[in-house]
Chains A and B, each alone.
Chain A
């Protein structure tokens, strides 16, 4: 009896040591999502030109000493896309790839003075596009049963690229452009408002003051000592601002890392990996002077943790912001039921078969 318990104890100690020594941690986002930390070994240092000295040369974590004045109104923008049906077509030697897709973009307007959050500008589009410069045509999918609403798929500009991956990028690009337009529209209407856009800033349209919010780490823009700081950030602390000039992307951006979450949902408490909860924010340097960028960066150390989600509500906590999580759900709801739409598309094609 005694020996048995002894051996068990030894075993437990051994296992614990393994986990301690190797620093393996749970991936909390759930397996359905792309993981928040996806740094492949070769690519860990980004090809971009990064200048970490634009704000300061002293790379120690810092948080503004006192809370800066915060904006009264925030607008969060996000979009969702879905391939309703993948298409393959063409004859003999030519094969075209295409897709029926649904995109949805919208905003959550948060009035901090009144303490209200509301959806606005929710738009849904159904689109049809092909690769290989194949033009699409407006297509109406009839409703076989019940409701009278038919599905109208608008054509989008084809791309030259013609691989199965084109389906995803076709639809993605339309969505990102729509997000861009919405951000520009809202900024024009309410210049005093901080517009936070979920995802990286792209290079469509004119640069504006939109704040990009990147919740996953694909590239590590920092190197050496600077990277070490990421591991030490406490919730609500940020790195100094650095400038990014991608080779492929023409726009120059200000960017900084920030640890989101609160003291009770920080990685140390939950046993997550130390890079969990790190988000990156960015601004177009052409549209935002460095001084203003500093101001916004300081505000973000208060605002982002304030709207961070809790692990009990959102599998992507704390990175996924609460208003954005709700917006995604609402957009998903308005996009319509996936299975139902897919079935309609199937019966549409089946009816084509009957006609020929």
Chain B
């Protein structure tokens, strides 16, 4: 059934790519509505169908000459007609014949199959729900443009707080994990989420008790189940300054594991350079010296491993070295030990095999920087725990047991955050290089501008560029977010096939990074409410405004539904009291 909404306007140009619609009295055509027009070829050779999205609507008193005629019309002395017209951006022409529609052609509201055709949903073999459109039909993303088959990566921009970037990233993950598009790889598809703000992501495994009836309805329309994330592993850094290793989290007491790196792992896996932030390596020869030291430490760690194997010992977590420092220590068991060892080799008793041809000043700069991060990093890199215990704190996002890994970096300092993200991505990258593309791994990382800024170089930025460019073939999919795409490395944003925009700052909206938004969408991006986003994908020529439903999983402690066991436990406690 077609709803006739109006006719192609004859007083303004109608072209194959855009045209105006004169809306019939008593009908409504809104921004984002989707329309269909059939035009008969003037030579009688058939029918051409145009599909499009409304991107501008206006009404005006027709026949009124002056602005003040409005008062006359309102007072009832001047008759005037109201002209209600809408501008349509064409999204599809079937068959692909670029002739203009004829003035007076009937314009219908596109629903159901027409709507799918208009927005190219019909050609998507693997599609995942992206949210609800304004006309309460679901919008879809082509999963082939996410999983690397045709394109990869999602990039989300928007002002902090209002744009709901992380929430949308989670909704997408939820939608992907529960869609048929994954097929047989559904169970093995993994995701790694970095929690950068509060502890909001530490309740994803709990159902949300604030869901309303209409939210259930939207989930039903979208075909996404109302349930919390399953198989979630929560990881957090250990508390600083305590010998015991317990997670540094305030809100969630249970089921949280700690992540740590051993001194030996740091050296062997060449993670040393991740201790240095971008600005450190840009000046002087520091980068060269860091690379040399990293290599030396790696060799040292390999020697240690060999020695352990020879002695039939479990591989240790510390390093055994020649005596160093005032106390003639022979073991590097803490980050501080490592500092002192390097200080000895590079500054106090310069060893040319470590220092290379670098000047003393460079060595001093390196040591200075290491001391600078000692307090921040010391509790993350340990060599003083038994290897069995250490193994528990090993963080592997590809482990079979869990589908979703949430890593908290919120409580860490800036450099430590970069270290954790850098190291995890590096490990993931080299692991995926070995294992191959499928199943894919999703990485959700907010504040991309911090990790891959437009200016400067750093190991983690190189890694992110590498993921953006090669992740597609390796099966690493970056769901990145930032407040301002203009401050993020062009290659990282540019490689994302799916671009999402929430509320933008007005200066930011004018940047060329958002060229995929049409003029009207840019203006509207300044007004978007939380929960509304513009989604752009390669196959659909117009950005779609979508709403995504209230999360089915708790995103705050008060939303978390208690399980029956927990309720029973609380009741017990009360009774005892």
Contacts and interface: CB of A to CB of B under 8 A. Distances in A.
B391 interface: no
A117 B77 CA distance: 6
A149 to B, nearest CB: 11
A46 interface: no
Interface residues of A, number: 22
A222 to B, nearest CB: 30
B78 A116 contact: no
A327 B133 CA distance: 43
B74 A115 contact: yes
A116 B72 CA distance: 10
Contacts of A114: 76
Interface in B181-222: none
Contacts of B75: 115
Interface string A89-123: 00000000000000000001011101111110000
A306 B74 CA distance: 14
A116 B104 CA distance: 29
Contact of B72 (A111, A322, A327, A333): A322
Contact of B76 (A110, A147, A312, A329): A110
B66 interface: yes
B79 A117 contact: yes
Interface string B411-427: 00000000000000000
Contact of B79 (A119, A147, A312, A313): A119
Interface in B344-393: none
Interface string B65-101: 1100100111111111100000000000000000000
Contacts of A115: 74-76
A326 B74 contact: no
A307 interface: yes
B78 A329 contact: no
Contacts of B104: 147
Q: Interface size class for chain B?
A: 10 to 19
A117 B78 CA distance: 6
Contacts of B63: 326, 329-330, 333
A323 interface: yes
A306 B77 contact: yes
Contacts of A307: 77
A117 B79 CA distance: 5
Contacts of A330: 63, 79
A117 B66 contact: no
Contact of A327 (B66, B79, B81): B79
Nearest to A321: B77
Nearest to A148: B104
Contacts of B76: 110-112, 114-117
A110 B76 CA distance: 6
Contact of B69 (A108, A110, A313): A313
Kindly name the residue among B69, B78, B80 whose own CB sees the greatest number of chain A CB atoms within 10 A.
B78
A8 B75 CA distance: 50
B233 to A, nearest CB: 68
Residue of B66, B69, B79 most packed against chain A (CB within 10 A):
B79
Contacts of B74: 115
A110 B77 contact: yes
A307 B75 CA distance: 10
B66 A322 contact: no
Name A's interface SS.
Answer: mixed
A108, A116, A117: most-surrounded residue (chain B CB, <10 A): A117
B245 to A, nearest CB: 79
B14 to A, nearest CB: 13
Contact of A313 (B66, B73, B80, B81): B66
Q: Which of A115, A307, A326 has the most CB of B within 10 A?
A: A326
Contacts of B73: 117
Nearest to A325: B78
Interface in A300-356: 306-307, 312-313, 322-323, 326-327, 329-330, 333
A323 B66 contact: no
A112 B78 CA distance: 12
A313 B65 contact: yes
A323 B79 contact: yes
Interface in B523-571: none
Interface string A184-219: 000000000000000000000000000000000000
A111 B75 CA distance: 10
A259 B76 CA distance: 22
B11 to A, nearest CB: 11
Most interface-central of B66, B75, B76, B80 (chain A CB within 10 A): B76
Interface string A271-289: 0000000000000000000
Contacts of A111: 76
Contacts of A333: 63
A326 B78 contact: yes
A293 to B, nearest CB: 25
A336 to B, nearest CB: 14
A326 B66 contact: no
Nearest to A308: B77
B77 A322 contact: yes
Interface in B31-81: 63, 65-66, 69, 72-81
Contact of A108 (B65, B72, B79, B81): B79
Given A326-B63, A329-B63, A330-B63, A118 B69 contact: no
Contacts of A119: 79, 81
Nearest to B75: A115
Contact of B78 (A147, A306, A312, A323): A323
Interface string A144-182: 000100000000000000000000000000000000000
Contacts of A312: 66
Contacts of A147: 104
A286 B10 CA distance: 50
B225 to A, nearest CB: 54
B45 to A, nearest CB: 18
B272 to A, nearest CB: 76
A222 B224 CA distance: 88
A330 B65 CA distance: 12
Nearest to A322: B77
Contacts of A329: 63
Contacts of B66: 312-313
A350 B81 CA distance: 38
A68 B342 CA distance: 107
Specify which of A118, A313, A329 lies most central, judged by the most chain B CB atoms within 10 Å of its CB: A313
Contacts of B78: 117, 322-323, 326
Contact of A118 (B65, B72, B79): B79
> Which has the most chain A C-beta neighbours within 10 Å: B69, B73, B75, B77?
B77
B498 to A, nearest CB: 44
A144 B78 CA distance: 37
A313 B80 CA distance: 15
Contacts of A327: 79
Contacts of B65: 313
Contacts of A116: 76
15 contacts: A108-B79, A115-B76, A117-B73, A117-B80, A119-B81, A307-B77, A312-B66, A313-B69, A322-B77, A322-B78, A323-B78, A326-B79, A329-B63, A330-B63, A333-B63
Given A147-B104, A329-B63, 19 more contacts: A110-B76, A112-B76, A115-B76, A116-B76, A117-B73, A117-B79, A119-B79, A119-B81, A307-B77, A312-B66, A313-B66, A322-B72, A322-B78, A323-B77, A326-B78, A326-B79, A326-B80, A327-B79, A330-B79
Interface of A: 108, 110-112, 114-119, 147, 306-307, 312-313, 322-323, 326-327, 329-330, 333
Closest 3 CB pairs of A and B: A115-B76, A117-B79, A322-B77
